[in-house]
Amino acid sequence: MAKAVEQLGYRILGAVRPTSLAAGDILPEHAFENILGRRLPIVQTGTLQRGHGSDFYILFNLQCFFEVMTEIDRSSTDLTADRFGLVNFYRRQGERGIGVTEVINRINATFTDRSVMSARDRIDALLLWYGPAKLDPARRLAHLTNQDKCHLPNGLIASIYLAAGELDKGWLFYEDAVRSSVKSKCPRLPHPFWAGEDFKDRKIIFRRERSPGDEICYSGVFNDLLNYGCRVVVEADTRLVSLFERSFPRAEIVPRIDPPDPRALSADIDFQASYTDSYRLLRSRVDKFPRHAGYIKPLPERVEHWRQETTRIAQGRLRVGLGWRGSQRGNQTWFLPDILDWESVLRVEGTEIFSLQYDDCAEEIATAHQRFGRRIHVMDGLDLFNDMENLAAFIASLDLVIGVSTVNIHMAGAVNTPTFEIGPRYWHLFLGADADPFYPSVRAFIAPCGAPLRTAIDQAAGALDQLICGRN
């Protein structure tokens, strides 16, 4: 952990310790020293900012953080601090202290242009110095995951660790991030939260905030829990209830509603937990993800219906479902490629393309037809947003699904439809691997850090062309 920092040997000078500092204290001009003899200057009048926890203090401001990161990147000429604006960012801050969350957000904002491992090293370095000095690194890390007390952006930290393949740290932070989300966004239940107790013979209700894609993805662990002897109750999006009831017949499925379903309040439930709370135990390494043949079970008669409909349209051509972009979330643009970026895929002959976009996309479909002469079919009677039963059946009926990570990719992997997934190297659900560990039927096409998603789209187009050639 934080090997580069350990080699540099940074330490705090004199009596400046976490327990002796308070919010508003002024840091000494040279509060940190490298054991090789070089002192690291701290802004002379910089004040210390206190975190929300009683003994959580920022032990260095961005100037010190910048020095540490420069050392880590010294061997990488294309990863200079100036390139990512840290120097200018520091100067803009003037003489005020810098919050840890602000620094982590800065790391995340530049994540797309730097290597995953470099971002991981920065988070390691930051967390190495942040927290009570009396705790060893392992206990300090566990302490820092308490989002109620520390108010760190655990979701961002988890994403960086998971993208780097450090699943033990990633699931640790993700566990508390999702739990905090459940507490703030889901109806309150009376049951205590699971805290590491044995799952066997325990009745546990598994929850998460509204997100069908994530629920489909992380529900893959429920059969493992049931086989172990856990009595599983699943609180699910109302759109997924019937699908989950068929897919997990040994579990109880209740809808996520407000006020809560009466079954979710029953006194025989021992604990509540997030869908992913068991992942630290059951998915601690990529090789612990099962090679399943699909765990979501669509209605066979609906699968056959859509197979007949798409076959009639395709007339022998490969039937491909395409979800070319996600939905806008805040300022994120990771999974929002333009329809024009899909030119290489749309120009592959021998395919018939069916839309998997669940929002208004008429203009984009018209653009594809005008620019490439390619028709993208929209199926009558198919509500891709509200009807998860028909979505599952439709995707199960296709020969192939192609797209960025949305509910469509999760559904395709969960029903075992062959899938080409487009994503960036820093996408956390790849878990640092060159494939999607959650779904054996999914083949990942990964754009390197800093490269546009079109790089991966063009690779997928080449694979699609080879697939067509193999059929002829």
Same fold flag, 203-288 and 300-471? yes
What residue type is assigned to position 349 of the chain? E
Query: Which residues sit opposite 204 in a β-bridge?
Result: 232, 271
Burial classification of residue 160, based on how many CB atoms lie within 10 Å of its CB (0-12 exposed, 13-18 middle, 19 or more buried): buried
CATH 3.40.50.2000 fits 300-471, yes or no: yes
**Integer Cα distance of 117 and 448 in angstroms:** 13
Task: State the average pLDDT over residues 71-94.
Answer: 35
**Integer Cα distance of 303 and 470 in angstroms:** 25
Reported as a single tens digit per residue, the pLDDT across 356-376 is 999 899 999 999 999 999 999
Taking the domain 203-288, which CATH number applies? 3.40.50
Cβ proximity of 241 and 269 under 8 Å: no
**Integer Cα distance of 161 and 153 in angstroms:** 13
Q: Please calculate the CA angle 337-339-343 and round it to the nearest 5 degrees.
A: 105
pLDDT at 19: 38
Kindly report the pTM of this predicted structure. Answer: 0.79
pLDDT at 461: 98
Nearest to 236 by CA among 225, 218, 90: 218
Which secondary structure element, helix H or strand E, spans residue 299, and what is its range? Answer: none
Reported as a single tens digit per residue, the pLDDT across 280-302 is 999 999 999 999 999 999 999 99
**Average pLDDT score over the chain:** 78
Q: Please calculate the CA angle 41-136-38 and round it to the nearest 5 degrees.
A: 20
**Integer Cα distance of 416 and 62 in angstroms:** 47
Pick the most confident of 44-58, 264-278, 443-457.
264-278
**Residue 41: pLDDT band with limits 50, 70, 90:** very low
Could you state, in order of their start, the residue ranges of all structural domains in the chain?
Answer: 3-166, 203-288, 300-471
Reported as a single tens digit per residue, the pLDDT across 195-234 is 999 999 999 999 998 789 999 999 999 999 999 999 999 9
Task: State the average pLDDT over residues 390-409.
Answer: 97
Instruction: Pick 85 or 259 by higher pLDDT.
Output: 259
Instruction: Pick 120 or 273 by higher pLDDT.
Output: 273
pLDDT at 283: 97
The residues, any chain, with a CB within 8 Å of residue 155's CB and separated by 6 or more, are: 173, 174, 177
pLDDT at 130: 58
- Helix 137-144 to helix 116-129 angle (10° resolution) is 100
pLDDT at 94: 31
Does the pLDDT at position 16 exceed 70? no
**Integer Cα distance of 66 and 124 in angstroms:** 14
Task: State the average pLDDT over residues 128-142.
Answer: 70
